[in-house]
Amino acid sequence: MIFKSSMRAFVAVAIATVSFGLSPASAQVVASGAAPLPLAPDVAAIVDRGTLIVAMTSFDNPPFYSGSGKHLEGIDVTLAERVAEALGVKVEFNRDAETFNDVVAKVALGQADLAISKISRTHARAQVVAFSEPYARLRHALIFNRLKLARMTEGRDIAEVVRHFEGSIGVIENSSFATFAKERFPHATVVPFKTWDEVIEATIAGKVDASYRDEFEIRKVAVDRPDASISLRTVTINDARDSIAVAAPWDRPRLLGIVNQVIDERATQVTADELIALYRASTETEGGH
């Protein structure tokens, strides 16, 4: 399948999946003249089961993950496969969760070993799960209704308008950015919507002044809706970062240690530019069918 092969090629180049350098997964530590050392209990449970259960949302989120069954692929899929390889087990994806918070809940309630689903680290989520080191750090960004922004600025510096923003901001309900918006813009009116498409539609229509999410998702709008640049304007917030990480049960430190080691073995963190290149490649290939 053209889409599958091209996505794998782009992912390999962008995030250097070929350079993880993992040792044979089934190997155990053996002291001189002794039997293999026992595995840590939180790792042994997964090894005995033979599968690593990874939670993802029910909806696709390319280039992090998209497809189904044997055709499921993307950055997060590759990361999950590498962690399973390190443990010497197969990976099984649980895609019942309807929201990102639901994915975190799968781990907190013991229904999945890990959540690898473009999950943002937040203070609230960190109270119920443990997070890995981030494998992507994306700047926060706003996409404004161009006419609304022009009225708000009227000669003022855009940075000042954003810093003291008092308008309305559209976000996905129960998402990390619904929380970030209240923290970052305490005087703004935060308006939740069920889906990101609804947020963008509301911004284009002027029902809200701006949409708020990470820079990758904001830049994706120009790819998906090239004509929208007439009515929208993007503003990146340089002093705020969205850390994308793996969620693990708080009482599985050895499992989390393996996840961090796999992440650390990457050449670099994936960047917004690389994500956009991957996303463009996926949409162009799909359009070629």
The 10s digit of each residue's pLDDT in 149-174 is: 999 998 889 999 999 999 999 999 98
Indicate if the pLDDT at residue 20 is higher than 50.
no
Confidence of residue 19 (pLDDT cuts 50, 70, 90): very low
242 against 26, higher pLDDT? 242
Confidence of residue 288 (pLDDT cuts 50, 70, 90): very low
Q: Residue 215: count other Cβ atoms within 10 Å of its Cβ.
A: 23
For 88-128, the pLDDT digits (tens) are 999 999 999 999 999 999 999 999 999 999 999 999 999 99
Report the candidate in 261, 20, 260 with the shortest Cα–Cα distance to residue 130.
Answer: 260
Mean pLDDT over the full length of the chain: 88
Mean local confidence (pLDDT), 182-205: 96
- Per 3-state DSSP, the chain is made up of helix, strand and coil in percentages (nearest 5) of 45, 25, 30
Taking each helix axis as running N to C, give the angle between helix 41-49 and helix 253-264, from 0 to 180 degrees, rounded to the nearest 10.
80
Confidence of residue 2 (pLDDT cuts 50, 70, 90): very low
The reported pLDDT for the residue numbered 32 is: 59
Indicate if the pLDDT at residue 80 is higher than 70.
yes
Q: What SS3 state is found at 1?
A: coil
Mean local confidence (pLDDT), 7-24: 43
Given CATH 3.40.190.10, say whether it is the number of domain 138-242. Answer: yes
Say yes or no: do domains 2-137+243-287 and 138-242 share a fold: yes
Report the percentage of the chain scoring pLDDT > 70: 86
Indicate if the pLDDT at residue 246 is higher than 60.
yes
Indicate if the pLDDT at residue 31 is higher than 60.
no
The reported pLDDT for the residue numbered 289 is: 43
DSSP class of residue 43? Answer: H
Confidence of residue 29 (pLDDT cuts 50, 70, 90): low
Kindly list the domain boundaries of the chain, sorted by start residue.
2-137+243-287, 138-242
Mean local confidence (pLDDT), 249-273: 93
The reported pLDDT for the residue numbered 269 is: 85
CATH class of 2-137+243-287: alpha beta
DSSP class of residue 51? Answer: E
